[in-house]
Structure formats: C-alpha cells, structure tokens
Amino acid sequence: MSTKSVIVALDIGTTKVCTLIAQKTPKNIEILGVGSHPSHGLKKGSVVNIEKTVESIRTSIEEAKLMAGIDELESATVGIAGNHIFCFNSSGVVPVKNKEINQSDVDRVIEAAKAVLIPSDREILHVIPQEFKVDNTVGIKNPIGMCGSRLEVNVHIVTGKTPLIHNLVKCVEQAGLTANSIILQPIASSRSVLSQEEKELGVVLIDIGGGTTDVALWKEGSLLHSQIIPLGGNHFTNDLAVALKIPHNEAEKIKLTHGTVLREPKAKETYLTVQGLSGTRPREVSLSFVAEVLGARAEELFTVIKDLVLEKNLQDQITGGFVLTGGGALIKNLPELAEYQLEKPVKLGYPQAFGGMTTAMQHPKFSTVLGLLQESQHVSEARSREEKVQEETDMFDKLGKSMKNLFKEIF
Ligand SMILES: Nc1ncnc2c1ncn2[C@@H]1O[C@H](COP(=O)(O)OP(=O)(O)OP(=O)(O)O)[C@@H](O)[C@H]1O
Ligand SMILES: [Mg+2]
C-alpha cells in the first residue's frame, strides 16, 4: 500500500490519546487501525509533561499500526485545544485586478484580513472565510469567476500560544510522526457530528472532554465563533472526590455508573456504597447528593456557555439549538439540564458512520479523532489539487520556454 493513500489522525486529549489510520478510497476513506491509550501528560488540553505525552502518543500509534498491519507512517493531522487558544473575527478588502475574481484575488483579500496585530508569543492556526462580498452583493461563499471591482471577506481567526503549539508538535515528532496540519478540536468534532443542514440553520457544538469543553458556533455554513473553556469531565470527577471524600478513581467509577445531574424523586431514597480514602470504611451516600454535586458543576458550565453566547450577541443565530458531544457529555440527564438552562433544543451528538468504523467508534469521545480524519482527507485532496495545478503550470512554463527557444533558433 502506498504511503500516499494512507491518512492518519491524532487526537491528543487530556484523558486519552487516540490514533486512527485510514486508507483513501476512490469515494471515501476506510479505517484500517485504531489505537487509544490513556493520556497523562496534559492539563486542561495543553501539554505539561513532554515525556509522558510522547509515551502515550507512541503507544497509541503502535496499537493502530498493529491493527492496520502497517509498519511505516509519515505524518498525521493533529488536533489542538487548551485554554491558550484565542479566536476572533476580522475582515479585509482589496480591489479586483482584472474585473473577474480569481484565486489570487481571494488569496490577497484573505491576507488583508490576516493583517491584524497579534501578540508576539501567538501564531495563527486557522483563517476561515465566513463570507465574501463583491461590491454590494453580500453572503457569497465562493467569489471565483464573479465580476466586480471590490472584494471583501469576513474571516474567523484562530490563534494559539507559540510555545504550547511547539510543545504539541515536538511530542508528535518525538513519537515518530510529523504534524502535517494542526486543527482546532471543535472544528474537527463539528465535521464528524454536525450535518450541513444544522450548520446552515445555526447550531452550537459543545464537546465536553476530560480537561476542556470546546465550543463551535455555526450559521449559514460558516464558523462564527469558537472557544475553549478550561472545564471538562475531570472537574465533575474531582468535585465528587472532594465532596464524598473518596479517591479519584472511585469518584470516576461512581460518575460513570450512577452519575446524574438531575435530582429525580427516587434519588433521595437510593443509596450507594462508596469506598472511602485509604484506612476508612466503605460508606453510604445518597444518589441525590451525587446529583447535587454533579448538577452544580453542570450548571456552572452551561452558565459560562450561555454568557458567551449573550456576550457575542449570537443567541438569535442558534435556530438549530445545541449539540453535546465528547465523553463528558454522557453524564445522565445532561441534555435535559442544558435545555432548561440554555432555553433551546439540546441533543447528544454522535459521530456519523463511515467506512471501517465499528460500533465501538460511534461514541461521543471519538468525535474529535473521526473529524480529524475527515479533515485530513479534505486537506490531502486540496493538496493533490494544488500539486496538479502546479504541475500543469510548470508544464506550460516549460512548453512556453521551449517554444521561445525554438523561435529563437528559427529566426
Ligand atoms: N459514560 C460516561 N458518563 C459520564 N462521563 C463519561 C462517560 N464516558 C466518559 N466520560 C467522561 O468523559 C471524559 C473524557 O472525554 P473525552 O475522551 O472526550 O476527553 P479527552 O478528549 O481525553 O479530553 P480533552 O478533549 O478535554 O482534552 C472523562 O472526564 C470521562 O469521565
Ligand atoms: Mg477531546
């Protein structure tokens, strides 16, 4: 199998590192190998221990390689999050050179929109066009071929702290791969979970991971806002551990098996036996208390999300409501609580199935890595198209030169 037909996605999360290896097929992609390994070197989505992160990445890659029956991999599409990520909207305007808009006009207007002052310790990860305007016509998605004299663009810019981006890239490289592209995690999750129709209608994707909650707001097919909130499933577990005075692993077990964020009537009479800290006896706690602790954290999270939507004045754009994904979204009754607080429809979002995907992969905790794989295919197709255009340009250049030489020789 040629390495050119293989694509790799790497989701380096706070609780797990997940690798997917897939083969490009004429129409789609086919997953060949999956590797998932606990992650110990990240905090709130950022690398804090290089050695531990490299170890987790390496193990997850090896697992995926073994399953796929592939020995050599070159590069991967890597997800990024962490509360160092800062996103904002910008705009640019340029005159159209030859009346009809071409790729170079589009490139120039995007460059103009990028020309904003960014602190020296930050770099741009994405510049995503939202809409183009040609003279007085607004809402254009692709202006190439249109006639006009003035081209404008609104873009969404994603930036991250340079040292933290470099740490992530370094970890990937030390684990034996190069990072061919770095993609903001909620953009990846949106690709695997949301339909085009939802993105058109107006929807907010909320990916609740272990260390962060990643938000992406879409309207008319464009990304209007994205944000990383440094609060995730681990905070729910820590709250339970502190409130019940139990070890972290016991709190995680209780959250996964009995966790809920709503106090249902029968919860008052339901008691759970919990293993106390070392040296203490097992104790009984009411399910109602567990719900109170987890519910308080969930309320805090949805208050932050509601505030950010209000602050950006985007509440009227969300016709399609909110979609919860990520492992942390699976706490019982979370969509119900969210719907009550956010006053919009809320549902759980699962990644859409494609070739080679097992039912085990159709889990909200795999939304990011599956989206990264789809983004990776998209990037690789775009690169092949660019390479083809370049090859054709080179060929015409060569042809032009040899014609010139021929004319010189003849005349
Ligand atoms: N069934 C479940 N019920 C409740 N919580 C769950 C369930 N399954 C997983 N979780 C929680 O999901 C979180 C991990 O989610 P996920 O795998 O999406 O995070 P991650 O990608 O490793 O982290 P991040 O994206 O924040 O860097 C953990 O806090 C875990 O407790
Ligand atoms: Mg994640």
The answer as to whether 377 is a domain residue is no
pLDDT digits (tens, 9 = 90+) for 274-291: 888 887 888 899 999 999
pLDDT at 201 over 70: yes
The answer as to whether 148 is a domain residue is yes
Mean pLDDT of all residues belonging to the chain: 93
Instruction: Report pLDDT for 164.
Output: 97
CB of 156 sitting under 6 A from ligand 1: no
pLDDT digits (tens, 9 = 90+) for 99-149: 899 999 999 999 999 999 999 999 999 999 999 999 989 999 999 999 999
Query: What percent of the chain shows pLDDT beyond 70?
Result: 96
pLDDT at 65 over 70: yes
Instruction: Report pLDDT for 138.
Output: 96
- Which pair of tokens denotes residue 75? 């590069």
pLDDT digits (tens, 9 = 90+) for 218-238: 999 999 999 999 999 999 999
Distance in angstroms (rounded) separating the CA atoms of residues 216 and 227:
7
Of 261, 294, 327, the domain-final residue: 294
Give the mutation target among 12, 14, 15, 368 for probing the ligand 1 site: most ligand atoms within 8 A of CB: 15
How would residue 180 be classed by pLDDT, with cut points 50, 70 and 90? very high
Between 324 and 97, name the one with better pLDDT.
Answer: 324
How many CB atoms are located within 10 Å of the residue 237 CB?
Answer: 25
CB of 191 sitting under 6 A from ligand 1: no
Q: Which ligand is nearest to the CA of 44?
A: 1
What's the whole-number mean pLDDT along residues 247-266?
92
The answer as to whether 145 is a domain residue is yes
Q: Is the dihedral of CA 340, 345, 347, 349 positive or negative?
A: negative
pLDDT at 393 over 80: no
CATH of the domain at 92: 3.30.1490.110
| Highest-scoring range by mean pLDDT, 213-227, 261-275, 384-398 | 213-227
The answer as to whether 54 is a domain residue is no
Give the mutation target among 365, 366, 367, 372 for probing the ligand 1 site: most ligand atoms within 8 A of CB: 365
Instruction: Report pLDDT for 30.
Output: 93
Between 409 and 40, name the one with better pLDDT.
Answer: 40
Instruction: Report pLDDT for 264.
Output: 81
Instruction: Report pLDDT for 1.
Output: 61
Residues in Cβ contact with 24 at an 8 Å cutoff, skipping those fewer than 6 apart: 5, 6, 7, 377, 380
**What sections of 175-247 are H helices per DSSP?**
185-193, 196-201, 233-244
Distance in angstroms (rounded) separating the CA atoms of residues 203 and 218:
5
What's the whole-number mean pLDDT along residues 364-370?
98
pLDDT at 411 over 60: no
Is 30 in contact with 356 (CB distance < 8 Å)? yes
**Lowest-pLDDT range, 97-106, 285-294, 384-393?**
384-393
**What sections of 230-363 are H helices per DSSP?**
233-244, 248-258, 287-311, 334-342
Closest residue CA from atom 25 of ligand 1: 209
Of 278, 294, 310, the domain-final residue: 294
Give the mutation target among 10, 14, 212 for probing the ligand 1 site: most ligand atoms within 8 A of CB: 14
Determine the structural domain holding residue 254 and report its residue range. 233-294
What is the 18 CA–ligand 1 centroid distance (Å)? 13
CB of 321 sitting under 6 A from ligand 1: no
pLDDT at 2 over 70: no
Instruction: Report pLDDT for 255.
Output: 97
Q: Is the dihedral of CA 192, 198, 199, 205 positive or negative?
A: negative
CATH of the domain at 277: 3.90.640.10
Q: Report how many domains make up the chain.
A: 2
Instruction: Report pLDDT for 267.
Output: 67
Instruction: Report pLDDT for 118.
Output: 94
Instruction: Report pLDDT for 394.
Output: 72
Name the packing angle between helices 185-193 and 367-410 (round to 10°): 100
pLDDT digits (tens, 9 = 90+) for 320-356: 999 999 999 999 999 999 999 999 999 999 999 888 8
Of 139, 161, 183, the domain-final residue: 161
The answer as to whether 361 is a domain residue is no
Between 157 and 359, name the one with better pLDDT.
Answer: 157
CB of 376 sitting under 6 A from ligand 1: no
What is the 109 CA–ligand 2 centroid distance (Å)? 33
What's the whole-number mean pLDDT along residues 164-170?
98
Instruction: Report pLDDT for 27.
Output: 79
The answer as to whether 334 is a domain residue is no
| Highest-scoring range by mean pLDDT, 280-289, 290-299, 369-378, 401-410 | 290-299
